[in-house]
Amino acid sequence: MAMPALEPRVWTAAAVQALPDDPANRIECVDGALLVTPAPRTVHQSAVTVLAIRLHEALRPTGAGAVFVAPADWVLDARTLVQPDLFVVPLVEGRRPRTDEERGHPLLFVEVLSPGSARYDRGVKRVRYQRAGIEYWVVDLDARLVERWMPADDRPTIHDERMAWHPAGAPVPVVVELAPFFDEVLGPG
């Protein structure tokens, strides 16, 4: 007699949030599929920190948004909970949001590729972010470039010199020079 096929579990954001803390892994779910990746390494965290500082410095004079870094849960729907490495949200009455409910629709999600996360970052998470109408940057440290995905894109634009980003509400574009960013994180290339 054959064993009946087991249906895969459909994960919810609430079920992921109910799991015990696991400092060795990042646990997310996208469209009900559980994503477990190893905790980021030092160079990854350095890239997130440096980019967050650069974006914060560029955004501050525009009054267009606030920068946050992981770990921070972002629930896109009942079956999708993600922790983008970095995200930018609009200000609330000129100040940083103080609660998850105040964050509003994200202006930008950023993921820094790691060996354990690249498949998810470029695949299921990218598709889900696009479906949610979120601009998405994939930072590839090995290639020293940023893939920029807009919600309707079939292919990214590739940036290796600078990122010029004009978020809603900003009077001028926010510019991030990429060569100095990569040099600070990785050393001269």
Beta bridge partners of 157: 148
Q: What average pLDDT does the segment 12-35 reach?
A: 95
Would you say the C-alpha torsion 9, 15, 20, 24 has a positive or negative sign?
A: positive
Contact 136, 82 (CB under 8 A): no
Alpha-carbon distance values, 87 to 10, 138, 187 (Å): 26, 12, 25
SS3 of residue 103 by DSSP: helix
Contact 35, 120 (CB under 8 A): yes
**Whether pLDDT at 141 is above 80:** yes
pLDDT confidence of 168, banded at 50, 70, 90? confident
**pTM score, whole prediction:** 0.92
Residue 157 has pLDDT above 60, yes or no: yes
CB 109 within 8 A of CB 83: no
Domains and CATH numbers, the chain: 13-186 (3.90.1570.10)
